[in-house]
Amino acid sequence: MAQQLTDRWGVPVDGSEQGAVDSFDSAVEDLVSLSGDPVARAEEAALVDPLLGLARILGAYLDLYATTPKGTAAASAVLADLGNREPELGERERIHLRAARSWAAGELEAATRAWEDALLLNPRDLLALKVAQDLYFFLGDRLNLRDSAARVLATWAKDQPGWGYVQGIYAFGLEENGAYAQAEEQAHAALAVEPGDVWAVHAVAHVLEMQGRQGEGTSFLAQTAPDWAASYFAIHNWWHQSLYFMELLDFDSALALYDDKIRAARSDVWLDLVDAASLLWRLRLYGVDIGDRLDELAATMEPLADGATYVFNDWHAIMVFGLAGRHELSQRVLASQQRTWGTNRRVGDLVGTALLEAFAAFAVGEHKRAAGALLKLRPQAHAVGGSHAQRDVIDLTLLAAAAAARDESLVRALVSERKSRKPTSSAAIDQLVRVSATR
């Protein structure tokens, strides 16, 4: 029979074995710290205590993070089974079940509303805070990316376990809202408590990227790498390192990172694939010879071409297939996008499909068409999700398209905009324009 136990952060959880709760807590901490093996720990907790419903819900969340049809199907099966026990679940568990069901149904906004309810009930529900921010990231909702953490900060004392992780979560939200000094301060406070917090490192990396502090960025990531290199999120931090290198015109170092870090393991996980795709696309915009790297990446992505669940992923698939000349695969991705539902379909109708079509047009040399489409969709582009740094490839591609289309007035305006915002990227922007003008 289930009883009310307490997790590591003082929040009630229904179960029958405290040891299983401890395993669940470790799984949550692995997820928040982006390290270890949260899947194995969640499975262990559920196996030890079948009454620990949150462990199974966490397992469903981890399946859904994959953003694949297979992951959605696996999560849906778990949630259907849990639904048979819903009357027996505690209030916290029922709210998380509602959130997981909404996510599995593709209704991301409904899922975030459920996690906000969970945080009103238990402001130190670290699992709810983590997945809420991640889904706000998927939605491109920068205000709630910050404020989901701001709303619970006062309930976390500095001497409590998890305080550092909450500061790191808040730091990233601050950065995405342009509060760079505060974000950097908050992230370093988090790292003083949790040096291995790769999300806090990530927040600093974003600050340095957005402020054009490329030299500081390369040094910071190199110095902190021993603390986060084993993280399953490490590839994304190496991707940030490659952005600094590209703006410093050190393309050899960016390519070396691609080979030695970003694609060394030949991952087929979307989290890693989007970084590889974005890096190769940007390198080509700068006129860099990327050799045969596209062949491997396109082959890895091809089995995923018909499985649209998140337009952000599809956009990066279009980059790879377009660069590789696999335009039939680009068309498959576009067709797959039209068969989606829920949040993804609404985002596609608003801006996602137009974004995919614009990148596909650029890839086949329809530069004027691409420039016109990208200029029009820029104000709504945040809806496809991701960060400012990730979506910056839209501005770079718009500039390249305008230069290739010989639209001198638009190029002049975009270059002025870019250099005013980020003067330290001037040399890289000049190169991109020069290369694009010869397309």
46-81 pLDDT per residue, tens: 999 999 999 999 999 999 999 999 999 999 999 999
pLDDT tens, 94-143? 999 999 999 999 999 999 999 999 999 999 999 999 999 999 999 999 99
CA gap 27, 214 in Å, rounded: 35
Cβ–Cβ under 8 Å, residues 307 and 71: no
| Nearest of 202, 227, 232 to residue 217 by alpha carbon | 202
CB atoms within 10 A of CB 254: 27
- Write out the H or E segment, with its range, that includes residue 296: helix 293-301
Give the pLDDT confidence score for residue 1 in this predicted structure.
Answer: 57
CB under 8 Å to 421, separation ≥6 — which residues? none
Q: How far is 423 from 210, CA to CA, in rounded Å?
A: 11
Q: At 13, is the secondary structure helix, strand, or coil?
A: strand
SS3 state at 21:
helix
Regarding beta strands 3-6 and 12-15, do their DSSP bridges make them parallel or antiparallel, or are they unpaired? antiparallel
Q: Is residue 395 within 8 Å of residue 378, measured between CB atoms?
A: yes
A 10 A CB-CB count for 230 gives 12
Residue ranges for the chain with pLDDT beneath 50: none
CA 199 to CA 187: how far, in whole Å?
9
Token pair listed for 107: 């209704």
